[in-house]
Amino acid sequence: MSLPHAILTALLEKPSSGLELTRRFDKSIGYFWSATHQQIYRELGKLEAAGQIRTLPAAAPTRGKKKEYEVLPVGRAELSAWVARPEDPRPLRDPLLLRLRAAAVVGAKGLDAEIGRHLALHERQLAEYREIEARDFPRPETLKDSDRLRHLVLRAGIELETFWTGWLTEARSSTPE
């Protein structure tokens, strides 16, 4: 139930078309809530039908059939209410941890390669987050409220990737075979 709220947030930051949203999801909100373009188009249709967003007909800049959406007051109210709505954290669901557990039963043959591969991926993600932090939040103690929240979210990403790289390094050195 979070995709519509992710879209509302993105549209409030800047009115956009479906494809623009898809691209912006790839680099900002998508870091912690990814979505394909089909998901986004479908959801835009639902949100429009529900009266939470509408298309901006006048603002079409030459591109073919492009449709730009903006958030209506009802949509903003819904998002605002959702921010405070109780919702339990999702239980952890990680295939790699499951694989270690399986390896404890059938043997860890070939697992070390996968661990190394994941380690490299997480190291890259961590580096990317750190670049964003250096670029967008050079002076964390002087942020206004909204930017402090954004920085907090980024910190979560950084700390999570830090955990993974550390844990995977440990795992690699202690995996049999």
Cα–Cα–Cα angle for 61, 66, 68, rounded to 5 degrees: 80
Chain-centre distance for alpha carbon 157: 9
86 near DNA, rule: CB under 7 A:
no
> Which residue among 14, 27, 37, 117 contacts DNA (CB under 7 A)?
37
174 near DNA, rule: CB under 7 A:
no
In a 13 Å sphere around the CA of 41, the CA atoms on its Cβ side amount to: 6
> Which residue among 49, 57, 58, 64 contacts DNA (CB under 7 A)?
64
Task: Please answer whether residues 172 and 119 qualify as being in contact, where contact means their C-beta atoms are separated by less than 8 angstroms.
Answer: yes
Q: Minimum distance from CB of 96 to DNA (Å)?
A: 14
Binding marks (x or -) toward a second copy, 118..137, rule CB under 8 A? x--xx---------------
Rounded Cα distance between 25 and 42, Å, is 15
103 near a second copy, rule: CB under 8 A:
yes
What does 124 interact with, of a second copy, DNA, none (CB < 5 to 8 A by kind)? none
